[in-house]
Amino acid sequence: MLPVARAARLRALVVSRHGTAAMSLRTARCLHSRSSHLNSAEAAATAPPATHEAEYAPSLLSEIAARRARAGKLVAGIAAASDSDMFKGPQTGKPKAKRWDDHLSAESKSREPCSLKQAAKHLKQPGLISLGGGLPSSELFPLDELNMKVAMPPDFSENATASHGQQVSIGKYDVRDRDGTYDLSIALNYGQSTGSAQMLRFLTEHTEIVCKPPYADWRVCQTIGSTGALEQALRMFLDKNRGDSVLTEDFSFSTALETIAPLGVKAFGVPVDDQGLIPEAMDELLSNWDAKARGSRKPHLLYTVPSGQNPTGATQGLERRQAIYRVAQKHDLFILEDEPYYFLQMQPYTGRGQPDAPAPSNVEDFVSSLIPTYVSMDVDGRVMRMDSLSKVLVPGSRLGWIVASEQIVERYQRHAEVASQGPSGFSQVIVHKLLDETWGHEGYLRWLMNLRLEYTKKRDALLAACEDNLPRDLVSWTPPAAGMFLWFTVDHTKHPGAGTRSLEEIEQEIFDSCIKSGVLVARGSWFQTEKDAPLTSLHFRATFAAASPENMNAAIARFGRAVQDSFGRR
């Protein structure tokens, strides 16, 4: 244990400023270099309890830092097994998650652990020589070190990074030679399907900061991004031979729909409004489910994107989420919470030329400003949350994570062992170096705060372009509170072909005309959940993520002209 005075000093340090925090963490690890594996029980017995009822407390960051200091240096070598329980605060008084045996597919239930990966447990035995797994010797890796220049607070801008970004270095044997926790010799060898212990620690702590799950046996597992995680999750719960189906928004992420269809199960759409899924409609649909007419048994799985839904841009508010969760409880649905845009919750839209809403003044305010996640209200452990770095750091990391109950994560992990084998080691070690060792939790939250403001600017630029260029009597939209997308509803009843031409035809005409005039927007029909049903409303989706304000203005002008042309307005 650290002396009390020193621990208090550390705690004070880590909440002060980012740079200091990272340093003090490193110092703390040096002071006390024992394995956290050995000390997790001890840590759990002495750390202040992290009750789930509590709102985000400024002390949580310092509590995590103190917990790390108490646990001592994280010792995790090549392919070391790890799980979130090694890194979580105490879960005293929380219930355990329900079991989901009836919800799982035959495929998922039949998975056995990998013999070779299970054998790795013997590696803990002191003095054991392994001639077991076919792991290459790190000596034969052709890289000696990686260096990178990264953005630092307070100025995360590209220019600041280019001119005075921080240089950080990842050596081959930093663990052996420089008292590091992670290095190339470990990251570039084989790993576990959970991903490395080093990244798992950071993500477990991040989950405590953001989600605070109200049940005890939650766990985190790294993924290769939410596209891959969703495919695994669907196979875990859906069984075509059982007549399974899945519920989702009536316009849903097209790639998700294209993942579901080949599994031989149907997706059914729940009506949405400006806040996404309508709980009453969902309840009614499920209460009156006619399996024969639907050709599927009553759904036991809900797939939803709660924040900045793709494609509608809708964000479910707190009460909406609570109501949907209650409907899920009533009908015993398991929830797949897909949240790539969670941290792209933006500043409230104040209207053109109006003063901006005040930005969060510190990371505590920022975290408090976020709408609670489903996991944070998940007393049953009926949610699997999919998180990803694609939208908030770099898509090319192919690195994400899930949060769910121990049972669900264990099943997921068994599948990942024979599929992805976990994310790239290059990605993990680079992201760890940046998020954990350079920025720390506070620095990463500041990065996300900065992103909030950047996306607010982008959204506002697209909204301005729409106000300037679109015929308001034909095209309507709601300013999105999160995400990357603006969803247009075009009033098809005013189309000269209304009643004689199908909406698909009119959509196609407008889309073709857009392409011809040089703008690509996504067609609403791509996202229609029930593909067999005729289209009953006319939509297009535009993103404000990538184009410059000038280009957005030009592009929306082209889109506006394409709509007007089709409606015979020009």
Output 23 or 263, the one with its CB closest to its own copies: 263
Residue 315 touches its own copies, criterion: CB under 8 A: no
Phi-psi region of 64 (alpha: psi -120 to 50; beta: other; left: phi over 0): alpha
Output 36 or 438, the one with its CB closest to its own copies: 438
Output 181 or 227, the one with its CB closest to its own copies: 227
φ/ψ of 193, rounded to 5, equals -70, -15
Q: Report how far Cα 73 is from the mean position of its chain's Cα atoms.
A: 28
The count of chain residues that interact with its own copies, using the rule CB under 8 A, is: 115
Residue 454 touches its own copies, criterion: CB under 8 A: yes
| R_g of the chain computed on alpha carbons | 25
We find the least distance from the C-beta atom of residue 475 to its own copies, in angstroms, to be: 14
59-71 vs 36-46: helix crossing angle, rounded to 10: 130
The CA–CA distances, whole Å, from 436 to 2, 209, 425, 470, 506 equal 22, 14, 15, 45, 51
59-71 vs 197-210: helix crossing angle, rounded to 10: 150
Containing H/E element for 464? helix 440-469
Query: Segment 83-102, which members bind its own copies (CB under 8 A)?
Result: none
Residue 142 touches its own copies, criterion: CB under 8 A: yes
Q: Report how far Cα 534 is from the mean position of its chain's Cα atoms.
A: 32
Output 444 or 567, the one with its CB closest to its own copies: 444
Phi-psi region of 90 (alpha: psi -120 to 50; beta: other; left: phi over 0): beta
- What are the b/e assignments for 266-291, b being 16+ CB within 10 Å? bbbbbebeebbbbbebbbebbeebee
Query: Segment 107-126, which members bind its own copies (CB under 8 A)?
Result: 107-108, 110-112, 114-116, 119, 122-123, 125
Output 85 or 565, the one with its CB closest to its own copies: 565
Residue 237 touches its own copies, criterion: CB under 8 A: no
We find the least distance from the C-beta atom of residue 128 to its own copies, in angstroms, to be: 5
Residue 337 touches its own copies, criterion: CB under 8 A: no
We find the least distance from the C-beta atom of residue 257 to its own copies, in angstroms, to be: 9
Residue 295 touches its own copies, criterion: CB under 8 A: no
Query: Segment 530-549, which members bind its own copies (CB under 8 A)?
Result: 542-547
We find the least distance from the C-beta atom of residue 94 to its own copies, in angstroms, to be: 32
Q: CA 558, CA 562: separation in Å to the nearest integer?
A: 6
Residue 165 touches its own copies, criterion: CB under 8 A: yes
The CA–CA distances, whole Å, from 66 to 19, 92, 219, 224 equal 17, 18, 21, 30
We find the least distance from the C-beta atom of residue 304 to its own copies, in angstroms, to be: 17
Please give the DSSP secondary-structure letter assigned to residue 247: E
The CA–CA distances, whole Å, from 110 to 232, 236, 319, 335, 420 equal 14, 10, 38, 22, 18
Output 349 or 426, the one with its CB closest to its own copies: 426
Paired tokens of 353: 């030329």
Lookup result for tokens 């550390």: 10
Residue 552 touches its own copies, criterion: CB under 8 A: yes
Containing H/E element for 323? helix 318-330
Q: Judged by CB under 8 A, which stretch of 47-55, 144-152, 208-216, 373-381 contacts its own copies?
A: 144-152
Q: Judged by CB under 8 A, which stretch of 43-51, 91-99, 397-405, 560-568 contacts its own copies?
A: 397-405
Please give the DSSP secondary-structure letter assigned to residue 100: -
Nearest Cα neighbor of 192 from 75, 79, 116 is: 79
36 three-class SS: helix
Q: Judged by CB under 8 A, which stretch of 80-88, 259-267, 272-280, 498-506 contacts its own copies?
A: 259-267
Residue 476 touches its own copies, criterion: CB under 8 A: no
- The amino acid that residue 23 corresponds to is M
Residue 136 touches its own copies, criterion: CB under 8 A: yes
Q: Judged by CB under 8 A, which stretch of 52-60, 212-220, 473-481, 521-529 contacts its own copies?
A: 521-529
Residue 485 touches its own copies, criterion: CB under 8 A: yes
- The amino acid that residue 11 corresponds to is R
Output 60 or 386, the one with its CB closest to its own copies: 386
Among 47, 263, 453, 535, binds its own copies (CB under 8 A): 263
Query: Segment 400-439, which members bind its own copies (CB under 8 A)?
Result: 415, 417-430, 434
Residue 131's Cβ-side half-sphere holds a number of Cα atoms within 13 Å equal to 0
Residue 569 touches its own copies, criterion: CB under 8 A: no
Output 261 or 291, the one with its CB closest to its own copies: 261
We find the least distance from the C-beta atom of residue 116 to its own copies, in angstroms, to be: 6
SS (H, E, C) 391-459: CCCCHHHCCEEEEEEHHHHHHHHHHHHCCCCCCCHHHHHHHHHHHHHHHHHHHHHHHHHHHHHHHHHHH
We find the least distance from the C-beta atom of residue 458 to its own copies, in angstroms, to be: 8
Q: Report how far Cα 485 is from the mean position of its chain's Cα atoms.
A: 17
Among 53, 102, 139, 532, binds its own copies (CB under 8 A): 139
Task: Map residues 10-49 to x or -, x wherever contact with its own copies holds by CB under 8 A.
Answer: ----------------------------------------
214 three-class SS: coil
Q: Judged by CB under 8 A, which stretch of 33-41, 347-355, 361-369, 387-395 contacts its own copies?
A: 387-395
Residues 6+ positions from 317 with CB-CB distance below 8 Å: 275, 371
We find the least distance from the C-beta atom of residue 450 to its own copies, in angstroms, to be: 9
We find the least distance from the C-beta atom of residue 407 to its own copies, in angstroms, to be: 17
Q: Report how far Cα 124 is from the mean position of its chain's Cα atoms.
A: 33
Residue 198 touches its own copies, criterion: CB under 8 A: no
Among 3, 41, 101, 137, binds its own copies (CB under 8 A): 137
Among 101, 131, 293, 353, binds its own copies (CB under 8 A): 131
Residue 227 touches its own copies, criterion: CB under 8 A: yes
Q: Report how far Cα 181 is from the mean position of its chain's Cα atoms.
A: 25
Q: CA 43, CA 331: separation in Å to the nearest integer?
A: 39
Among 10, 402, 490, 555, binds its own copies (CB under 8 A): 555
